[in-house]
Structure 1
Amino acid sequence: MKVEVCAGSLEDCVYANQAGADRIELNNAIHLGGLTPSIGTLIESKKQTNIPIVTMVRPRGGGFYYNDYEKATMYEDAKILIKHQADGLVFGFLDVNRQIDVEVTRKFVELCHKNKVEAIFHRAFDRTADPFYAIETLISCGVNRILTSGLQSSAEQGMKLLAELQQKYGDKIEICVGAGVNEKNVLKIIAETKISQVHSSFKGWYEDPTTSGNEVSYRYSEQGDYEGVSLSKLNSFINILKEESR
Structure 2
Amino acid sequence: MIKLEICCASAADAVNAFKGGADRIELNSAIAYGGLTPSLADLELVKAKTNIPVMVMIRPRSGGFSYSKMEFEVMKKEAELAVESGADGLVFGILKENRELDLRRNRILKEIAGDKETVFHRAFDIVPDPFAALDKIKEIGMDRVLTSALANKVADNLQLAKEIIAYAGEELEIVLGGGIREHNLKEIIEQTNCREVHLSAFNKKVDKSMLKQKLKFNSDCISEFEYKLTDIQKVKSVKEILSHY
| Same fold per superposition (TM over 0.5) | yes
Residues 74-85 of structure 1 correspond to what in structure 2 (within 5 A)?
Answer: 74-85=75-86
Shift of 1:164: 0.4
Residue of structure 2 in register with 1:26 after alignment:
27
Shift of 1:45: 0.6
Check the 8 A contact 1:75/1:108 in 2, yes or no.
yes
| Segments ≥4 residues shifted beyond 3 Å | 217-224
Residue of structure 2 in register with 1:167 after alignment:
166
| Cα distance in structure 2, aligned partners of 1:94 and 1:106 | 12
Q: Could you tell me which amino acid in structure 1 is paired with residue 74 of structure 2?
A: T
* CA separation of 1:97 and 1:233: change in aligned 2, threshold 3 A: same
Check the 8 A contact 1:212/1:218 in 2, yes or no.
no
Residue of structure 2 in register with 1:211 after alignment:
210
Shift of 1:218: 4.6
| Cα distance in structure 2, aligned partners of 1:120 and 1:154 | 19
Shift of 1:195: 1.0
RMSD: 1.5
Q: Could you tell me which amino acid in structure 2 is paired with residue 139 of structure 1?
A: K
Check the 8 A contact 1:205/1:224 in 2, yes or no.
no
Deviations 1:149-190 (A, max 9, x none): 000000101211110011122212000001101111111111
Residues 8-23 of structure 1 correspond to what in structure 2 (within 5 A)?
Answer: 8-23=9-24
Percent sequence identity over aligned pairs: 38
Structure number with greater CO (CA < 8 Å, separation at least 6) is 2
Return 5+ residue gaps in structure 2 as ranges. none
| Cα distance in structure 1, aligned partners of 2:168 and 2:84 | 32
Q: TM-score of the superposition, structure 2-length normalised?
A: 0.95
Residue of structure 1 in register with 2:156 after alignment:
157
Residue of structure 1 in register with 2:61 after alignment:
60
Asked whether 1:36 is paired with 2:10, we answer: no
Return 5+ residue gaps in structure 1 as ranges. none
Q: Could you tell me which amino acid in structure 2 is paired with residue 26 of structure 1?
A: L
Check the 8 A contact 2:208/2:225 in 1, yes or no.
no
| Cα distance in structure 1, aligned partners of 2:148 and 2:54 | 21
